[in-house]
Chain A
Amino acid sequence: MAKLLQKESTHFHLMLLPALVLVLIFQIYPMTGIVLAFKDFVPTKGIMGVWHMPWAGFKYFRFVLDNPESKTILRNTLIISFGKIITMIIFPVVFALMLNEIRLRWFKRTVQTVVYLPHFLSWVVVAGILKDVLSLEGPVNWVLHHWFGVEPQMFLGSNDWFRSIIISTNVWKEFGFSTIIYLAALTNINPSLYEAAEIDGAGRFQKLMHITLPGIAMTIALLATLSLNGVLNAGFDQIFNLYNVLVYDTGDIIDTYVYRSGLMSAQYSVATAIGLLNSVVSFILVVFTYSMAYRFANYRIF
């Protein structure tokens, strides 16, 4: 024991303990509930009595896989998710690089503050505003019609527009906040590299390409990897507040479907089965992206 305590890494492991307990209570223990996906739900037993309910085998999984809606929902989830992930890498990185080139400190600070403010608005509020802004009589349609002669579009009722609106409003709301991490990473780059480059006669753009970008490449790779595990989670709050029956074809994602069929129609087993499928796929993706990150960015957690 004493030997164990003397080991250099022991106190690090001890510091992990509180986090481990939290994970056990809030992440691992509730997972026993996933057995519901293999059970016929009997209300009298209660949520905690799930072990005593009759087995249903893979009935609910078969139902989910046979359900013609499943394909649509999965496709929507993936498209929206990847759209969000890609835009949420490009926009914050480009913005952080641009901000980094600005020499006026007060201007830089102000811009930084202003762009991350929308992050603190809830989707309920944002959706309320968007519904008015994007309506047929709203300012967007007015500008399009009067300045560009475009026929008014029913943006939130159109399958052509819905995904783009979801992805772009997500960028508007969140990119400022994500920029912070990249700005932090930028401060980590050794200034002597810039000095050396300057002596060698490198211009501003060359410094950007050969020092700044490689300097934050690791961070980009890490964040991209981390965001991939949420690929089947395309953002319930946002879509639930913005969608309607007309755009189920392009806007209905796994979470909103689970909410409608599971909670509103009380099909708990089906909802759990979908949730479990969701998690399994996410798990595979995490393993995959982790190995990708190692191969291409030489990034390892352990």
Chain B
Amino acid sequence: MKKTALISAVALMLVVSACSKTDNANNGANAGTNNGATQNQTTEGAAPAEKPDPFGPYAETVNFTTIVNNNPEAAKKFPEGESYENNKYKSYLEKALNIKSTPIWEANGPAYSNKFNLMIASNDIPDIFVVENIDKTPAKTLLKRLYDAGMIEDLTTVYDQYASDAVKEVNQSVNNKALDNASFDGKLYGLPSVNDMNNVNMVWVRQDWLDKLKLKAPTTTDELMTVAKAFKEQDPNGNGKKDEIGLAAQGAQLFNGEPFTFTGLMWAENAFPNMWVKDDSGKLVYGSTQPAVKTALGKLAQMYKDGSLDSEFALRDGNKTAEFLASDRAGLMMGMWWNPYWPIGSGIDNNPKGEWKAYPIMTGDHVNVGNDFYSNSFIVVKKGFEHPELAVKIMNIMKANSSKKIPELLELETTGIYKASDSTRTQWGLNGQVVPVFPDTTARTVKKFDDIFAGTAKEDILDVAEKPIFDQVKSEKDNPKKDLNNYKTYLAWMEGNGVVSRNKLNNVFNEFTGTTPTMEQSFTTLSDLQTKTFLEIIMGKKPISEFDSFVASWNKMGGEQITNEVNEAYLKQQ
């Protein structure tokens, strides 16, 4: 209680001091706010409210600071003369709203994570920025950290007033759960993106290798094991050497959203490592310690024993593993729908003859999919920033652009410099994009494609965003492998997203993405223990029974305490 009082007192001071510089737009933003003691103060005696306009420009240029995640790989894909600092998206945004953004720093990779953490630690945050997962810390944890520290602005009112219909429609489609997820004590502190739930972990496989060895396409874990073993032993690349590696895998990350991980294999066995899931009694339990994980680990250990995993996979990272695809030594990997662009893309470029196909790993009649939540990134506003509604406006424009509602930008993408568009070029001058979309967006699109190819629908059911993708897919269908970019797009959409849209999905949610006191202290130790034990079991250094002693020590070393705390916090959340 005392802490809350302190935070509100600080907040009050900040807001009041910020308002000494108030201009009209700010009054517009705060007018009508009645649900917060602090904000009541600020609106007293303010000028009458002007009507909030979701896309309206400011009368005077509004300056704000931010941060930029300047991935050098993405930077290479900018058209001539464009950059993170200077590109058409950013300048459109700035012109349309009459704003100017200045990054206080730019970084990428681990440096970005460190700077981000230090930025919060030193209370030196920019005015508007995007909170995303940092390393293993979920975005929600970071949001909570920022909220607890009283560093970010309450956006409840500005969201109600300024969010565009398109943004609100998406949030309503998930019963506003994404908004609840970004709210504390009933107030909204971050603008969530709602995600397309297409994170099915599927198997990508060289169809020509399958055909050559006369193998059946894998649809269950056991069939996958058979294929991996055959790939390892029967020389599918035909160079006379047993240099294939079976299932391409990396050990640096065992179970997360990265390609080459074992996540999908686990899900297929009804195991959900690194997620908080409900058990039969409705209590939350940690997925990594459940018996299903043991079964799945047993299968992985068998694969390692068979030689169908690279014997040094534990020392590999994604880039190293991707080299096996490029050099024709691997034709089997677990991954996501977008993998034809990377890492399979390099394999396709080096050996265009390779035929890739995607298959789901079924659990009975459905595919299990683990999801963090409807959203895992948020736009936040620094406490005291004069124009909190600006964040909402930026999101409105990002959303409008994603559904191709902005003619200037659409023209760039269809006829102008962004033709053959690459989504990484879309840079608004922030460290990421927060675009709320319907959870089944891609599945809807692929269904339309299927209907058109089946002759049951006409091309005019496609919207402007879907049309260019369809064109690429169609020209690939007409002229196979004429243009390898078309081939990659075809694979990603018809094969990868096809797996998403044509199968019955069982979405399982991570029920708790926050953090608890014991978690903060012991989680490094616990996750080290987990990764180490799992790797040792898979590599046959320890027997499978080691899993039970892992669970015991996990509980003893703070896991039990954490589980209790998580359940307590979860009850409070409800």
List of A residues within 8 angstroms of B557 by Cβ: 68
- CB-nearest residue of chain B to A159: B541
Asked if A192 is an interface residue, CB under 8 A from chain B, the answer is no
- CB-nearest residue of chain B to A64: B521
Among A248, A264, A267, contact of B136 (Cβ-Cβ < 8 Å)? A264
A46 to B149 Cα, complex, angstroms? 11
The B520-534 residues at the A interface (CB cut-off 8 A) are 520-521, 523-525, 528, 531-532
A263 to B117 Cα, complex, angstroms? 8
Asked if B123 is an interface residue, CB under 8 A from chain A, the answer is yes
Segment with Cβ contacts to B, from A37-45, A181-189, A208-216, A284-292: A37-45
A246 to B122 Cα, complex, angstroms? 34
Is the CB–CB distance between A67 and B122 below 8 Å? Answer: no
With A156-B315, A157-B312, A244-B251 as contacts: A263 and B114 at CB distance below 8 Å: yes
How many A-B contacts are there with CB distance less than 8 Å? 87
Asked if B484 is an interface residue, CB under 8 A from chain A, the answer is no
Q: How far is the CB of B137 from chain A (nearest CB, A)?
A: 7
Is the CB–CB distance between B524 and A261 below 8 Å? Answer: yes
B: contact size bracket: 20 to 34
Among B10, B121, B149, B314, contact of A157 (Cβ-Cβ < 8 Å)? B314
Is the CB–CB distance between A46 and B124 below 8 Å? Answer: yes
List of B residues within 8 angstroms of A156 by Cβ: 315
Asked if B135 is an interface residue, CB under 8 A from chain A, the answer is yes
Among A43, A154, A246, A263, contact of B145 (Cβ-Cβ < 8 Å)? A43
With A68-B557, A246-B535, A266-B137 as contacts: A47 and B315 at CB distance below 8 Å: no
List of B residues within 8 angstroms of A270 by Cβ: 521
Asked if A204 is an interface residue, CB under 8 A from chain B, the answer is no
Among A44, A135, A154, A265, contact of B524 (Cβ-Cβ < 8 Å)? A265
Is the CB–CB distance between A264 and B121 below 8 Å? Answer: no
List of A residues within 8 angstroms of B536 by Cβ: 246
A44 to B251 Cα, complex, angstroms? 37
A140 to B136 Cα, complex, angstroms? 35
Q: How far is the CB of B140 from chain A (nearest CB, A)?
A: 15
Q: Which of A63, A136, A248, A263 has the most CB of B within 10 A?
A: A263
With A136-B312, A154-B311, A246-B536 as contacts: A63 and B521 at CB distance below 8 Å: yes
Asked if A19 is an interface residue, CB under 8 A from chain B, the answer is no
With A136-B311, A245-B314, A265-B523 as contacts: A44 and B149 at CB distance below 8 Å: yes
The A40-95 residues at the B interface (CB cut-off 8 A) are 41-47, 49, 63, 67-69
A135 to B320 Cα, complex, angstroms? 12
Is the CB–CB distance between A44 and B150 below 8 Å? Answer: yes
Size of the A side of the interface (Cβ < 8 Å), in residues, is 32
Q: Which of B117, B122, B315, B557 has the most CB of A within 10 A?
A: B315
Asked if B252 is an interface residue, CB under 8 A from chain A, the answer is yes
List of A residues within 8 angstroms of B523 by Cβ: 265
Is the CB–CB distance between A131 and B315 below 8 Å? Answer: yes
- CB-nearest residue of chain B to A54: B3
Asked if B113 is an interface residue, CB under 8 A from chain A, the answer is yes
- CB-nearest residue of chain B to A135: B312
List of A residues within 8 angstroms of B462 by Cβ: none
Q: How far is the CB of A32 from chain B (nearest CB, A)?
A: 15
Is the CB–CB distance between B528 and A47 below 8 Å? Answer: no
Among B10, B122, B525, contact of A69 (Cβ-Cβ < 8 Å)? B525
A45 to B151 Cα, complex, angstroms? 10
13 contacts between A and B (CB under 8 A): A43-B145, A44-B151, A47-B121, A47-B122, A67-B525, A131-B315, A154-B312, A157-B314, A246-B251, A246-B536, A264-B136, A264-B524, A268-B121
Q: A49-B123, A68-B525 provided; 14 other pairs, C-beta below 8 A?
A: A43-B121, A43-B151, A44-B149, A69-B528, A135-B315, A244-B252, A244-B315, A248-B532, A249-B532, A265-B136, A265-B137, A265-B524, A266-B117, A266-B145
Which residues on B are within 8 Å of A, measured CB to CB? Answer: 10, 113-114, 117, 120-124, 135-137, 145, 149-151, 251-252, 311-312, 314-315, 520-521, 523-525, 528, 531-532, 535-536, 539, 557
